[in-house]
């Protein structure tokens, strides 16, 4: 009896000790993650400017569906998503395979050079891009000098080219980030697999599609989900390069949330509703990606 009692006391003690270790983190997560999320959800059922908020039920959610600006923002965001994410993933994969070649010299230099963009400040690089792509910026000057165009391209003030500029900017910044994941995954693939394939007479492209891509599948899934989430939350580049313009040709959902909160008459209730729409979209897309690309136990 005495024995079991002390055993029990020991168990309780160790459980409590364990909890006390994680308690701080748990409290912080509750205070800084779950509480704000809950508050935002409550806020999304309220309308009014500033602090004059009243509960209006699902008004904000029905407004969402008839809000042209919101719909355009969603459309823009999905254009970035559909064009930029695949482009970046393929590019990152391609570069990482090149850089993984054992015969390549100055590997460290190339890896650093390609990874470097994603340690730069978001705002700083956006501002630099804005100037590079401005009417008389470096890009236009070069294109003109090389006689590739006859008149400067309106990179920032034309609706089509402004989107392209944003896509170029985010591709520049995030390709290196994804490349690092692929590189580390590639180094875990056993060389003997490739050797066996070569002996069997498989071409380089066959090796790439038959060995590299399937073995990198979990990483590709991971990068495409994080990139999807990142793109759905895209804000800094658009805010700093085009401010969402011209018109709202480059406006993203996140920027619309900013505008609703701070540019217009502070409508925090509706802004919270729009934020929740992003949550729902991310959840849905991640679910689909897991279903399509993930393993059964993934």
Partner 1 sequence: MKKGFALVLICLLLLTACSSNSGSKNSGNTAADTGKTENTAATEPAQAKEITIWAWDPAFNIAALEVAKAEYAKTNPDVKINIVEYAQADIIQKLNTGLNSGTTKGLPNIVLIEDYRSQSFLQSYKDSFYDLSSSIKGTDFADYKSGPTSLDGKQYGIPFDSGVTGLYLRTDYLEQAGYKLADLQDIDWKKYIEIGKAVKDKTGKALITLDPNDLGLIRVMIQSAGEWYLKEDGKTPNIAGNAPLKEAFETYKELTESNVAKVHADWSQFVAALNSGDVASVPTGNWITPSITAEASQSGKWGIAPLPKLTVNKSVHASNLGGSSWYVMNVDGKETAADFMAKTFGSNVEMYQKLLTDIGVIGTFKAAAGGEAYSQANEFFSGQKIVSDFAAWTEQIPSVNYGINTYAIEDILIVEMQNYLNGKDIDSVLSDAQAQAESQIK
Q: Which is nearer to partner 1, 7 or 206 (CB)?
A: 7
Contact residue for partner 1 among 3, 51, 192, 205 (CB under 8 A): 51
Q: Least separation, in Å, of the C-beta of 170 and partner 1? A: 19
Structure tokens given for 23: 């308690």
Q: Does the footprint of partner 1 cover residue 187 (CB under 8 A)?
A: no
Contact residue for partner 1 among 261, 286, 289, 294 (CB under 8 A): 261
Q: Does the footprint of partner 1 cover residue 198 (CB under 8 A)?
A: no
Output the DSSP codes for the chain. -HHHHHHHHHHHHHHHHHHHHHHHHHHHHIIIIIHHHHHHHHHTTEESSTT--EE-TTHHHHHHHH-HHHHHHHHHHHHHHHHHHHHHHHHHHHHHHHHT-TT-SSHHHHHHHHHGGGGS-HHHHHHHHHHHTSTTSHHHHHHHHTTS-SS---TTTSHHHHHHHHHHHHHHHHHHHHHHHHHHHHTTS-HHHHHHHHHTT--HHHHIIIIIHHHHHHHHHHHHHHHHHHHHT--HHHHHHTTT-STTTT--HHHHHHIIIIISS--HHHHHHHHHHHHHHHHHHHHHHHHHHS-TT-
Q: Which is nearer to partner 1, 139 or 186 (CB)?
A: 139
Q: Does the footprint of partner 1 cover residue 67 (CB under 8 A)?
A: yes
Contact residue for partner 1 among 197, 245, 293, 294 (CB under 8 A): 245
Q: Does the footprint of partner 1 cover residue 9 (CB under 8 A)?
A: yes
Q: Are strands 46-47 and 54-55 parallel, antiparallel or unpaired?
A: antiparallel
Q: Least separation, in Å, of the C-beta of 24 and partner 1? A: 5
CA 161 to mean position of chain CA atoms:
22
Q: Which is nearer to partner 1, 31 or 213 (CB)?
A: 31
Tell me the backbone φ, ψ of residue 158, rounded to 5 degrees: -105, 135
Q: Which is nearer to partner 1, 49 or 184 (CB)?
A: 49
Q: Least separation, in Å, of the C-beta of 15 and partner 1? A: 9
Q: Least separation, in Å, of the C-beta of 150 and partner 1? A: 17
Q: Which is nearer to partner 1, 47 or 212 (CB)?
A: 47
Q: Least separation, in Å, of the C-beta of 283 and partner 1? A: 27
Q: Does the footprint of partner 1 cover residue 259 (CB under 8 A)?
A: yes
Positions in 133-152 near partner 1 (CB under 8 A): 134-135
Structure tokens given for 115: 């990874």
Positions in 150-169 near partner 1 (CB under 8 A): 154, 156-157, 159
Q: Does the footprint of partner 1 cover residue 47 (CB under 8 A)?
A: yes
What residue ranges bind partner 1 (CB under 8 A)?
A: 9, 12-13, 16-17, 19-21, 23-24, 27, 47, 49-52, 63, 66-69, 72, 130, 134-135, 154, 156-157, 159, 242-249, 259, 261-266, 268
């Amino acid at each position: 009896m005495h024995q079991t009692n002390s055993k029990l006391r020991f168990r309780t003690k160790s459980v409590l000790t364990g909890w006390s270790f994680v308690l701080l983190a748990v409290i912080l997560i509750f205070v800084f993650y779950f509480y704000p999320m809950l508050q935002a959800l409550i806020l999304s059922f309220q309308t009014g400017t500033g602090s004059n908020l009243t509960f209006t039920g699902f008004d904000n959610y029905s407004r969402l569906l008839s809000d042209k600006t919101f719909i355009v923002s969603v459309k823009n965001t999905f254009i970035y998503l559909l064009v930029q994410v695949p482009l970046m993933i393929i590019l990152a994969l391609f570069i990482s395979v090149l850089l993984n070649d054992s015969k390549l010299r100055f590997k460290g230099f190339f890896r650093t050079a390609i990874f470097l963009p994603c340690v730069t400040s978001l705002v700083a690089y956006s501002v630099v891009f804005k100037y590079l792509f401005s009417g008389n910026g470096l890009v236009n000057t070069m294109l003109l000098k090389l006689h590739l165009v006859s008149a400067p391209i309106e990179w920032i003030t034309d609706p089509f080219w402004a989107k392209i500029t944003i896509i170029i900017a985010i591709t520049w910044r995030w390709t290196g980030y994804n490349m690092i994941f692929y590189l580390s995954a590639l180094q875990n693939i056993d060389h003997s697999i490739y050797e066996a394939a070569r002996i069997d007479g498989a071409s380089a492209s066959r090796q790439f599609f038959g060995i590299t891509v399937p073995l990198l599948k979990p990483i590709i899934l991971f990068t495409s989900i994080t990139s999807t989430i990142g793109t759905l939350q895209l804000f800094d580049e658009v805010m700093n390069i085009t401010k969402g313009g011209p018109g709202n040709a480059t406006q993203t959902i996140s920027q619309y949330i900013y505008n609703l909160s701070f540019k217009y008459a502070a409508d925090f209730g509706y802004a919270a509703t729009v934020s929740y729409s992003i949550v729902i979209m991310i959840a849905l897309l991640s679910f689909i990606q897991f279903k399509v690309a993930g393993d059964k136990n993934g």
